[in-house]
Amino acid sequence: MASDQNIYFILAVHNHQPVGNLPEVFQKNFEEAYEPFISVLERYPGVSIGLHYSGSLLEWLEENEPGFIRRLRELVERGQVELLGGAYYEPILPVIPEEDKVGQVRYMSSRLQELFGVTPRGMWLAERVWEPHLARPIREAGLEYLALDDAHFLEVGVEELTGYFRTEEGGWPLDVFPISEELRYLIPFKPPGETIVFFKERRDDGKHPLLVLADDGEKFGGWPGTYETVYEGGWLEEFFGLLEENRHWLKVVTFNRYRQMYPPRGPLYLPAASYREMKEWSGGFWRNFLTRYPESNRLHKKMLAVRHRLELLPPGEPRREAQKLIWAGQCNCAYWHGVFGGLYLNFLRAAIWGRLLRAERLIDSRLQPGPFLKVEAVDQNYGGEKEIRIRSDRFTLLLAPHRGGSLWELSWKPVGVNLLDTLTRRPEPYHRELTEEGPDPEPSEEGVVSIHHQKKVKDKKLVEHLHYDGYPRVALVEHFLSAAVGLEEFITGDYREPGDFLMQPAIAGFYPLPGDGGNGDGDGGSPGGRGIKIVFRRSAMLEGRGPLIMEKAITVCAGRDRIDLDYCLHNRGSEPIEYWFGVEFNLAMLGGYDRGRWFEIPGRELAERHPASSGSEEGVEEVSLHDSYRNFGVTLQLGRPARLWRAPVKTISLSEGGLEQAYQQSMLLPCWKIELLPEDRWLVSLKINLFSPVAKGERGQLEEKVGV
């Protein structure tokens, strides 16, 4: 039987938009979630809550809705809102360097003091991804408590979850509050009265029980169907009204207020964990995303590589500017995928790449003014094999000898774009919904269905476009194809290549071009010079014919926006070899159907020019892709007339709106018919040229527009 004992309730709301999210998404969530929530809260002064706004969202609010900032400050000043700190750009805290953990948290605290006149004592932990070592950097940054999901506590056998606990790392204490998963699914998806019943059932004499809901603010209007329920249907008004009506026994408090009233229940050590759904998506441990998605790992390791070079800069404004760009490049959303688009949203990945490349360019410009070239053999991706990293004042390239000398990063520094910010098509568990699942769950009269339970398919014909790749979709990937293979078979993967040639290991040789040398910047790489030629050599048997020797030479020069490629095929066998030989390029153009992005083949009128168009053209000697939004273009010049295939690579992924198809990149395959008698050689040269249509030739003067 319920007693008259008070029960305490903490409501904390986390509001966030990723770095690089679309302006209309910021605006829509402001109008449908952030502003109406505060409007209702202002009418219920008896309801006190915790609020957290990520740095990327705060910056948007400052620029676009300064009046909203003033309203928040008034709520803070009257004691109705406790502002929570956190890491400024919402990184997954365990996977960034220790200095950045402390630095981002301190920076957020300083910004809250500047904007609202308060210094936070508690924080929001991005995606509630916890690892035990975090207690120390969080306390070093000046914060004292945070909330974690009850799944963390249940894993170590804690059953009494109506209070808070204290943990420590190396003697640095941190208080942790358990978030109720049951409340996460009640609020705001069930009638408000059900939450009040939930509280009544948990009243407990003598233990001042506490229940916590700390969750996304977008669920109050931003998630599908919630605006109609929460505001048009009056859910939030009714809920806040019930909280005030029952305040004689249901005490709505903030984290800090409860800590002032009651001590922690005792010491507790929690394992690495997150909320239940995140554990399902990641396979139990968030860092598994870095293994599951090589694209995420490349992005993360690029961040670490740029962060390492930051240490070479002396203190001062350039270092602070580069540091903030790297922090923005640590924003978590593009690094993982669950019910939200995340990694599958190409504009989020491009925004992170853009910040990191701008930081890299800034660092390079201070360490080595003017043209330079640096070549290093490094295990940048921490996979156990060394890649070849080429850095110049114009490019950063990453080549993989163990994958045939394929190209995995093609970053052009003047505009901060990685043209190989591509995505490989792979199976996802929810793809089964296209063929195996039943109809979408219908909202009941009691409320809207949680986003975690929605199963929507935007296009019922998506299953026809469900294809997977047998190799990574990068660049400088060589293929041998029979005459029977067409463009459709190639792009869907419904074909077989002869032999074992595709992306097999190659031996690399380095041939510096003459130059003045002395361009080293003191970070442990090889001395620079005018240029470098790297030759990859490998052999293969093609259906019993061969061996066929392939040499691929890549030449990069300091101060030059061109990459030269030279291929030599040598038939060392006793039988003729007849195949189509192709070199695959995947180029990330962000928008597949945008008017400001297009293909161009000189002297030809293409029926469709947009990046998501498909086609086969004979006798092509040059093809270009233009991006007017980001102010650059790329031209591929072919030393021999080629048959050119082009096609979009599209993924089918889960987002807030359901399963959807999305353009990721444009595939180009110039190919040639080769007929090699024993000991014959076949040669072809290609050139990759990057340029700016608006400021062609004016190096380093372009404004970065990453994320448009």
Print burial letters for 591-612: b (CB count within 10 Å at least 16), e (below 16): bbebeebbbebeeeeeeebbbb
Q: From 282, 313, 341, give the residue that closes a domain.
A: 282
Q: Do 399 and 309 reside in the same domain of the chain?
A: yes
Lowest-confidence segment of 126-130, 456-460, 515-519 by average pLDDT? 515-519
Which pLDDT belongs to residue 705? 34
Catalytic residue among 82, 100, 127, 295: 127
| pLDDT for residue 475 is more than 80 | yes
Residue range 252-276: mean pLDDT, rounded: 95
215: domain CATH number is 3.20.110.20
| pLDDT for residue 3 is more than 70 | no
* 343 occurs within a structural domain: yes
Residue range 233-237: mean pLDDT, rounded: 98
Q: From 237, 253, 282, give the residue that closes a domain.
A: 282
Which pLDDT belongs to residue 672? 98
Nearest to 185 by CA among 402, 446, 490: 446
Q: Give residue 447's pLDDT band: very low, low, confident or very high (50, 70, 90).
A: low
Count CA atoms closer than 13 A to 647's CA, side-chain side.
16
Which pLDDT belongs to residue 358? 98
* 523 occurs within a structural domain: no
Whether the CB-CB separation of 457 and 659 falls below 8 Å is answered with: yes
In terms of residue numbers, what domain contains 396?
Answer: 291-418
pTM of the model: 0.92
Count CA atoms closer than 13 A to 232's CA, side-chain side.
9
CA-CA distance, 454 to 440, in Å (whole number)?
Answer: 7
In percent, the amount of the chain with pLDDT more than 90 equals 84
What is the token pair recorded at 354? Answer: 């853009």
* 698 occurs within a structural domain: no
**Helices 317-328 and 98-116, interaxial angle, to 10°?**
100
Q: Do 390 and 263 reside in the same domain of the chain?
A: no
Which pLDDT belongs to residue 515? 61
Residue range 195-210: mean pLDDT, rounded: 83
Q: Do 221 and 313 reside in the same domain of the chain?
A: no
| pLDDT for residue 52 is more than 70 | yes
Q: Phi, psi at residue 563, to the nearest 5°?
A: -120, 130
Question: What total number of domains does the chain contain?
Answer: 2
Tally of CB atoms within 10 A around 386: 16
Q: From 377, 397, 418, give the residue that closes a domain.
A: 418
Q: Letter for the amino acid at 370? A: G
Q: Do 340 and 318 reside in the same domain of the chain?
A: yes
Q: Give residue 499's pLDDT band: very low, low, confident or very high (50, 70, 90).
A: confident
| pLDDT for residue 94 is more than 90 | yes
Lowest-confidence segment of 35-49, 430-444, 554-568, 659-673 by average pLDDT? 430-444
* 81 occurs within a structural domain: yes
Q: Give residue 519's pLDDT band: very low, low, confident or very high (50, 70, 90).
A: very low
Nearest to 407 by CA among 633, 670, 641, 587: 587
Round the average pLDDT of the chain to a whole number and report it: 91
State the DSSP H helix or E strand holding residue 39, giving kind and residue range, or none if neither.
helix 35-42
564 is catalytic: no
What is the token pair recorded at 699? Answer: 């190096």
Q: Do 139 and 164 reside in the same domain of the chain?
A: yes
Burial class (CB in 10 A: 0-12, 13-18, 19+), 176: buried
> pLDDT tens for residues 146-181?
999 998 899 999 988 889 999 999 999 999 999 999
* 689 occurs within a structural domain: no
Q: Return the sign of the alpha-carbon dihedral for residues 82, 85, 91, 92.
A: negative
CA-CA distance, 390 to 511, in Å (whole number)?
Answer: 13
Burial class (CB in 10 A: 0-12, 13-18, 19+), 70: exposed
Q: Do 296 and 400 reside in the same domain of the chain?
A: yes
Count CA atoms closer than 13 A to 616's CA, side-chain side.
10
Lowest-confidence segment of 311-315, 425-429, 447-451, 542-546 by average pLDDT? 447-451
> What are the percentages of helix, strand and coil residues in the chain, rounded to 5?
30, 30, 40
Rg (CA), the chain: 28
Catalytic residue among 31, 35, 216, 621: 216
The terminus-to-terminus CA distance of the chain in angstroms comes to 59
Q: Give residue 518's pLDDT band: very low, low, confident or very high (50, 70, 90).
A: very low
Residue range 37-64: mean pLDDT, rounded: 98
Q: Do 158 and 51 reside in the same domain of the chain?
A: yes
Q: Give residue 667's pLDDT band: very low, low, confident or very high (50, 70, 90).
A: very high
| pLDDT for residue 560 is more than 60 | yes
Q: Give residue 5's pLDDT band: very low, low, confident or very high (50, 70, 90).
A: confident
* 62 occurs within a structural domain: yes
What is the token pair recorded at 418? Answer: 């990685």
* 187 occurs within a structural domain: yes
3-class DSSP string for 313-373: CCCCHHHHHHHHHHHHCCEHHHHCCCCCCHHHCHHHHHHHHHHHHHHHHHHHHHHCCCCCE
Q: Which residues contact 603 (CB under 8 A, 6 or more apart)?
A: none
Lowest-confidence segment of 11-15, 255-259, 514-518 by average pLDDT? 514-518
Tally of CB atoms within 10 A around 496: 11
Q: Do 261 and 383 reside in the same domain of the chain?
A: no
216 is catalytic: yes
